[in-house]
Chains A and B, each alone.
Chain A
């Protein structure tokens, strides 16, 4: 627990301090007329105190009683990072490239490269998923997904 709480305690303490400064700048107002920063100033003072308690407990308390375990299982971390990068790229390219090409690419990447499936399986599933999701969301639910590069087709 120690390491977990030390890291998170410091993070939340910094968060609270930042928000206390921000709230103070916004204006606390008076008790008759509380300002826009009033509630958040006090809430973050409470958060700061609680983070300190977490920190102090982690430092002073049961040191060495619990075996130190790695916070993250290292094995699949690269996979998670690649998946996340692909999702961010998907979001960023969605409007310029368009829903259909970008979804195809995402599935080819996830199934073919990350999951290392056979190419014909990857191709088949990617096309089927793209077509069906397009039909459900664009045609049936009229979600107005971005057309991007395929805008000229006007379907």
Chain B
């Protein structure tokens, strides 16, 4: 099948009425999640995963994808109106978006972020269509050593980019790998790290872990420091940006899209980094850098475009290599596996309906979001007014039901609650959870590819340096480890501190 035919096939799949409905619900719920502070896309996908169990794999995956890029859209709304990012990738949007709103320009700020997101999302999906098959073709030639090295790069990039201490991020990756080893060893059949606890025989489940670390922990943290929200009560008018706004932001959108696309592909990169990098670049190239922080529209358009492009392109490593590039994609990988699919280079040939159907549904979903987001803004503002004392019991209830329905047993619920406490403590002790999640997901594959490689080479470690692709990956991983030690690593937090 050439690409044109494949895309056409994708449209046939995505345009089936049922799939359209799932896509619609996905983007709608995603936007809602993006709007609600205290519930990020990772927790939302984990939370809503059980709701897709009854659907066919295609419909389920389409809906989950919709939740993800929908959340990216929705996150900007709270940043602009309340100065609270709905999810981490919209942190930067607060800086100029909220200032625009305070100057009475909430309308154009919301408008440009919706258009910017739409343009970026669409271009990213288009590029995904072209790059996906190419990468999958290359990946078909990968053996266990290449996969081992690539997964190592993924974990290293995520720890390199983590917002806190890199040492602590590496420690979290080690903990994640160890947790991933719990349960039965697929090669020897021995049980590991189960400590005679029945619930651990099947290993530490990804979904309850993520719901705990990101959902429950977030609620506990918010309970400690009650959120005080000031919502702009002024009427929002003129959602459509004027010509001057467009002139100021169109290049920011294009630059943001390109940047976001490439940062999204790199394992470990993703929407959050892309939005910060785009803001820094826009400030640098602007003729009026002094306007940044006071309501520059380019400071809203660029990062919004970047985070949406990255959201789209982060599907590339997952769908073609089977390697998730960030915590959200890690859950997505778990979701695909629950639906009986193994993401990787063979996904395109074994389940073309999933691959092309999902990709094309993203084109359609982006269109739906544009139509949905602008007229529904008053509704989202209303949602924002739901008081937290009502919101948190609902989030908790959803987590409890979600965790229970994974396997209809309370063990998963208990695991989720324990990880909720762990996640809260990690935040308190300044450890990042995403490297733990990524390592937990990759752990099994990483271990078996290492052991297979060593069996292949009869215990000779030179297998990792004699194969050019493997060597290349390992050099990258090594540099990511060493560079921060030699030079002072520029942290995200410093970018955050000097907007």
A residues near B (Cβ < 8 Å) are 1, 4-5, 7-8, 12, 15-16, 19, 22, 26-27, 30-40, 43-44, 46-47, 50-51, 53-54, 71-73, 75-77, 79-80, 83-84, 87-88, 90-92, 94-95, 103, 106-107, 110-111, 115, 117, 125, 129, 133, 137, 141-145
Contacts and interface: CB of A to CB of B under 8 A. Distances in A.
A90 B417 CA distance: 11
Contact of A110 (B393, B430, B450): B393
B174 A94 contact: no
A91 B389 contact: no
A32 B454 contact: yes
A80 B224 contact: yes
B220 A129 contact: no
Contacts of B458: 32
Given A43-B177, A91-B400, A143-B405, A79 B168 contact: no
Contacts of A31: 454, 459-461
Interface in B404-462: 404-405, 408, 410, 413-414, 417, 420-421, 428-431, 446-447, 450-451, 454-455, 458-461
B225 A73 contact: yes
Contacts of A16: 174
A84 B400 contact: no
Nearest to A22: B193
A83 B51 CA distance: 25
Nearest to B168: A54
B181 interface: yes
Given A94-B413, A115-B389, A145-B401, A36 B429 contact: no
Given A54-B168, A107-B393, A125-B390, A33 B455 contact: yes
B223 interface: yes
Contact of B220 (A43, A84, A94, A125): A84
Contacts of A107: 393, 397
Contacts, number: 152
Given A71-B428, A87-B400, A35 B188 contact: yes
B175 A26 contact: no
Nearest to A96: B410
Contact of B181 (A39, A46, A90, A106): A39
Given A15-B175, A39-B181, A145-B404, A87 B417 contact: yes
Contact of B421 (A46, A84, A117): A84
The 5 closest A-B pairs by CB, nearest first: A31-B459, A32-B459, A47-B174, A36-B185, A91-B413
B430 A143 contact: no
Contacts of B193: 19, 22, 40
A91 B410 contact: yes
A43 B167 contact: no
B60 to A, nearest CB: 12
B223 A79 contact: yes
B178 interface: yes
Contacts of A83: 220, 223, 396
A54 B417 CA distance: 27
A133 B401 contact: yes
A50 B397 contact: no
Contacts of B421: 84
Given A19-B193, A31-B460, A40-B177, 14 more contacts: A4-B430, A12-B175, A34-B450, A35-B188, A50-B167, A50-B171, A76-B223, A76-B225, A87-B396, A92-B410, A117-B389, A125-B390, A141-B50, A141-B405
Nearest to A11: B429
B244 interface: no
Contacts of B168: 54
28 contacts: A1-B430, A12-B171, A12-B175, A22-B193, A26-B192, A27-B188, A32-B458, A33-B459, A39-B177, A39-B447, A43-B178, A46-B170, A50-B174, A54-B168, A71-B428, A72-B428, A79-B223, A84-B417, A87-B417, A91-B414, A106-B397, A107-B393, A129-B393, A141-B50, A141-B54, A141-B405, A145-B401, A145-B404
A7 B54 CA distance: 45
Contacts of A53: 167
Nearest to A4: B429
B275 to A, nearest CB: 27
Contacts of A106: 393, 397
A113 B51 CA distance: 31
Contact of A44 (B174, B224, B396, B400): B174
B2 interface: no
B417 A19 contact: no
